[in-house]
Amino acid sequence: MANPSLNNPVWRETAKIYLGHNVFGVAAILFGIFTVSWRPFNLLQQAQALGSAPHREILIYLVAAIEILAGLAIQWPKTARIAAAALAILFTLVALSWIPGIVAKPNVFYTWGAVFYVFSKASGALIVYAMFAPGGSRWASRLARFACISFALCLISFAIEQLEFFAHTAELVPKWIPLGQNFWAIATTIAFFLAAIALLSGRVALLASRLTTAMLIGFGVLIWVPVCFGNVHNLYNWSENLDNLAIAGAAWIVADFLSQSRSGNRSPAASDALPT
């Protein structure tokens, strides 16, 4: 049976314009390919989350397969919803698997940050799932609103993590950029906080989500891509680069959803969206 939302002419039109889910899917595909192509796995968050689980390597390959297949499927309207559901479940389970680490060492922020890193991607997937729900579905609207709020909480975590590891954050900023490394480390930390406040309050939320997307893309272009190609054998750098791309895709999805909500071109889940 066809998805009712696909019969919505407005969604068919806006699906050609809003590209957040496409970027998000590309990131998932690359992460899956990267996982099965390079060893060791222990620097990847999804592998670390599995710890010493039985048949750990088989599970990692299963995760990679889900990422690749769902990343491909999310590119097309007919399969986007089930793909988004698969990614949302996967990322949520990976995020929750870090909870024992938080309980064991609650004062270590790295573990907290890992949860929010992964859950920011789950939030993006949940919004895509809601956007492809049958037209007029109020539960989809509530789900999308919840995911926008959860993404805002993740932005707060990103800001705290940058403060926690401020020296490393500043060190990543290219020295040739005007105003200095410390300035941009502080500025981007404040930007994460302000974007979170905007999304939680509903004030200038659309602008905040767009600027956050641009900032994350800037991180990739100015920092992670040069760093990766400067040391192509460093697994950690590639992992961070792909994480950044996936989170940028999630931020783009938030912006797409809020944009549809604000305009006359509403997606099936756009009613009762966060005010912008």
On whether residue 91 sits in a domain, the answer given is yes
Range of the domain at 17: 7-262
User: Which amino acid appears at position 119 of this protein?
Assistant: F
Asked if residue 205 is part of any domain, the answer here is yes
CA atoms of 16 and 223, how far apart (whole Å): 30
pLDDT tens for each residue of 96-139: 888 887 888 888 888 888 889 999 999 999 999 999 887 757 78
Domains held by the chain: number: 1
What pLDDT score was predicted for residue 52? 55
Least confident of 1-5, 102-106, 167-171, 203-207: 1-5
Per the CB < 8 A criterion, the answer to whether 146 and 127 are in contact is no
More reliable by pLDDT, 108 or 147: 147
Q: Is residue 272 part of a domain?
A: no
Distance CA 101, CA 29 (A): 28
Average pLDDT, the chain: 83
Min mean pLDDT across 78-87, 137-146, 188-197 is at 137-146
Residue 14 maps to a domain: yes
Position 51 scores a pLDDT of 54
Establish if 2 belongs to a structural domain: no
Specify if 273 maps to a domain. Answer: no
DSSP string, the chain: ---GGGG-HHHHHHTTT--HHHHHHHHHHHHHHHHHHSS--TTSHHHHHHTT-TTHHHHHHHHHHHHHHHHHHTTSHHHHHHHHHHHHHHHHHHHHTTHHHHHH-TT-HHHHHHHHHHHHHHHHHHHHHHHTSPTT-HHHHHHHHHHHHHHHHHHHHHHHHHHHTHHHHHHHS-TTSTT-HHHHHHHHHHHHHHHHHHHHH-TTHHHHHHHHHHHHHHHIIIIIHHHHHHSTT-HHHHHHHHHHHHHHHHHHHHHHHHHHHHSS---TT-TTPPP-
How far is Cα 97 from Cα 235, in angstroms, rounded to an integer?
A: 22
- Within-domain flag for 274: no
How crowded is residue 174: how many other Cβ atoms within 10 Å of its Cβ? 11
- On whether residue 268 sits in a domain, the answer given is no
* Residue 107 main-chain phi, psi, to 5 deg: -90, 0
pLDDT of residue 156: 97
